[in-house]
Amino acid sequence: MINQSNKVINNSLNKLVNKTYQYGFSTNIEKDIIEKGLNEETIKLISSKKKEPQFLLKFRLKAYSKWKTMREPEWANLKFPAIDYQSIVYYSAPKSQKKLKDLSEVDSELLNTFEKLGISLNEQKRLANVAIDIVFDSVSIGTTFQQELSEYGIIFASISEAIQEYPQMIEKYIGSVVPIGDNYFSALNSAVFTDGSFCYIPENVKCPIDLSTYFRINDQTSGQFERTLIIADKNSQVNYLEGCTAPQYDTNQLHAAIVELIALENAVINYSTVQNWYAGNQYGKGGIYNFVTKRGLCIGINSKISWTQVETGSAITWKYPSCLLIGANAQGEFYSVALTKNFQQADTGTKMLHIGKFTKSRIISKGISAGNSKNSYRGLVQMTDKALNARNYSQCDSLLIGNCSNANTFPIISVQNSTTRIEHEASTSKIGEEQIFYFLQRGIILEKAIELMISGFCREVFKKLPLEFAAEADKLLSLKLEGTVG
């Protein structure tokens, strides 16, 4: 009885899940490409194309030689064929890269692409409360609201622009949170990163609008290696949002990013991501390999960094946004919803390293697995001997849909002093046929039933997202799951 009805449920579940990816189109545009393959010449060429200062070329070459000595990590609960790093294009940019006076000069084909993605670069139609930097394959093609922000002393620019305009700041902070040799993918990114966003909030400034970066991978063979650096000076505050999409190809593309956040005394950084890279088709073909290192440094006393992520895309997600809590009373937060379906695999979580006294961290992780997917939470909470009276609360909930999906949690707690307090809660539940039948019997259709259960499950995380994002995330999840349950 169980098997047969599960079959019914699974069939309709699959229907729901296999909704086509609406961002899967690609843009035909003339490109400036560096031949695929990776060697010192590639790196020198990237650096010279971007007219970079000497220190950065050195940084890149050091990273490259480090990377060559390293091996791809194998500890994650992920299975995928070996990546051929020599068949990847490391630099791909839309041609006609002359300096643009304003965004109306952006190539019309590109403007159309972003209109289709629901992002308007048109200054009249732009989102009212969000400044946005847009990264297309390897380069940033525009940043909105720069002028207005500069009146507050806020710098918001693509990282390439910042390298030209504020080289000292870049030299001081780049690699200071995620060292070159931190891991295999951070070394790779440090060698070949092409663009991303840079943001500096000066002392005592509360950023008046949300800042945002939108990443788009367009090219079939190119990887995207972006780098984001955010510095919040004393008593400042900023909300940062990140969105991502990619066209639908049968081949896998590599995305290996680094995000570094630095919060000085009393500063607050809220960093939110809605990740919706192409996830591959229903048989697991194609999709983005997403290997990301995100880390925040709470160096000042009373500083706070909060990561919120909604991970719904990518064939593979390998991502652990972390906090180094150094300043006394510093706070780190991690709120995550990871949804996997079909043959997607996600290994995601966080690290909270407590070094300062009275530091606090909070981890809320919600994993949803449908189809044949694999969803793992991996977390580390470490209380060093100096982290007196530090506290952590963690909650990891998994929700299974159908009976072929897989959920795991790998929490590690390491405590080196006896004054700390750590709480960990975990649960696993399942949207089963009996729950669905309960809704149906009361006249509520399947799609609505799933939507209600999912949004209830994710509520704690969604309420952390900025308003526009929260609505989008809610919609995104129900769209993604449309057709998954029966």
* Backbone φ, ψ for residue 347 (5° rounding): -125, 100
Q: Is 426 in the site for another protein (CB under 8 A)?
A: no
The tokens describing 99, both together, are 């300096």
CB closer to another protein out of 129 and 435:
435
Quick one: which H or E segment has residue 455? helix 446-462
212-231 residues near another protein, rule: CB under 8 A: none
Minimum CB separation from another protein for residue 120, in Å? 33
Phi, psi for 206 (deg, rounded to 5): -100, 115
Mark 6-45 with x for binding to another protein (rule: CB under 8 A) and - for no binding: --xx------------------------------------
Binding window for another protein (CB under 8 A); candidates: 16-24, 107-115, 443-451, 475-483: 443-451
* C-alpha angle 468-472-477 in degrees, rounded to nearest 5: 155
- Token pair of 334 as six digits: 């991690």
CB of 481 to another protein, least distance (A): 14
Taking the C-alpha atoms of residue 2 and residue 24, their distance in angstroms, rounded to an integer, is: 37
Q: Can you tell me which of 20, 98, 108, 456 binds another protein, judged by CB under 8 A? A: 456
- Give CB contacts under 8 A, 24+ apart, made by 48-56: 49/91, 50/160, 50/163, 50/194, 51/164, 52/163, 53/163, 53/167, 53/171, 55/167, 55/171, 56/163, 56/170, 56/171, 56/174
Contacts of another protein in 327-346 (CB under 8 A): none
Tell the smallest beta-carbon distance from residue 337 to another protein (Å): 13
Number of residues that bind another protein (CB under 8 A): 28
**36 is written with which tokens?**
């695929």
Q: Between the CA of residue 455 and those of 213, 392, 470, 481, what are the distances in Å?
A: 25, 25, 11, 11
User: What is the smallest separation between the CB atom of 480 and another protein, expressed in angstroms?
Assistant: 17
What would the 3-class secondary structure string for 100-154 be? Answer: CCCHHHCCHHHHHHHHHCCCCCCCCCCCCCEEEEEEECCEEEEECCHHHHHCCCC
**Is residue 444 a contact point for another protein (CB under 8 A)?**
yes
Q: Is 455 in the site for another protein (CB under 8 A)?
A: yes
Task: By CB under 8 A, name the one of 385, 428, 437, 471 that touches another protein.
Answer: 437
When binding is defined by CB under 8 A, the residue of 459, 463, 471, 475 that contacts another protein is 459
Q: How far is the CB of 400 from another protein (least distance, A)?
A: 13
State the DSSP code for 260.
E
Q: Contact between 438 and another protein (CB under 8 A)?
A: yes
State in angstroms the smallest separation of the CB of 17 from another protein.
Answer: 18
In a 13 Å sphere around the CA of 41, the CA atoms on its Cβ side amount to 5
Binds another protein (CB under 8 A): choice among 434, 463, 471, 475: 434
Site residues for another protein, window 64-83 (CB under 8 A)?
Answer: none
Alpha-carbon span 334 to 305, nearest angstrom = 9
Instruction: Give me the DSSP letters along 409-447.
Output: EEEEEEE--TT-EEEEEEEEEEE-HHHHHHHHHTT--HH
Which 141-180 residues touch another protein, going by CB under 8 A? none
CB of 293 to another protein, least distance (A): 32
d(CA 344, CA 349): 16
**Could you tell me which stretch among 31-39, 209-217, 381-389, 434-442 binds another protein (CB under 8 A)?**
434-442
Indicate which single residue of 193, 198, 318, 457 sits in contact with another protein (rule: CB under 8 A).
Answer: 457
Q: Is residue 471 part of the contact set for another protein (CB under 8 A)?
A: no
Rule CB under 8 A: choose which of 412, 429, 471, 475 binds another protein: 429
> Measuring CA to CA, how many Å separate 96 from each of 192, 252, 313?
22, 28, 31
> What φ, ψ does residue 346 adopt, rounded to 5°?
-130, 130
Instruction: Output the DSSP codes for 457-479.
Output: HHHHHHTTS-HHHHHHHHHHHHH
Q: Does 423 bind another protein (CB under 8 A)?
A: no
Q: Does 486 bind another protein (CB under 8 A)?
A: yes
The structure tokens listed for 400 are 């299974």
Burial of 423 (0-12, 13-18, 19+ CB in 10 A): exposed
Instruction: Find residue 60's DSSP bridge partners.
Output: none
Which C-beta is closer to another protein: that of 3 or that of 124? 3
Contact window for another protein (CB under 8 A) among 214-222, 320-328, 333-341, 449-457: 449-457
Residue from 251, 440, 463, 471 binding another protein (CB under 8 A): 440
CB of 205 to another protein, least distance (A): 38
Is the CB of residue 141 less than 8 Å from the CB of residue 94?
A: yes
Interacting positions 233-292 with another protein (CB under 8 A): none
Our finding on whether 448 is near another protein (CB under 8 A) is yes
- Taking CB under 8 A as the binding criterion, the range among 21-29, 291-299, 315-323, 439-447 that sits at the site for another protein is 439-447
* Cβ neighbours, 10 Å, residue 123: 11
Indicate the residue among 171 and 447 with the shorter CB distance to another protein.
447
**Which two tokens mark 337?**
């919803």
Binding of residue 443 to another protein (CB under 8 A): yes
Q: Determine the interface stretch with another protein among 166-174, 212-220, 388-396, 425-433 (rule: CB under 8 A).
A: 425-433
Binding site for another protein (CB under 8 A): 1, 3-5, 8-9, 429, 432-435, 437-445, 448, 452-453, 455-457, 459, 486
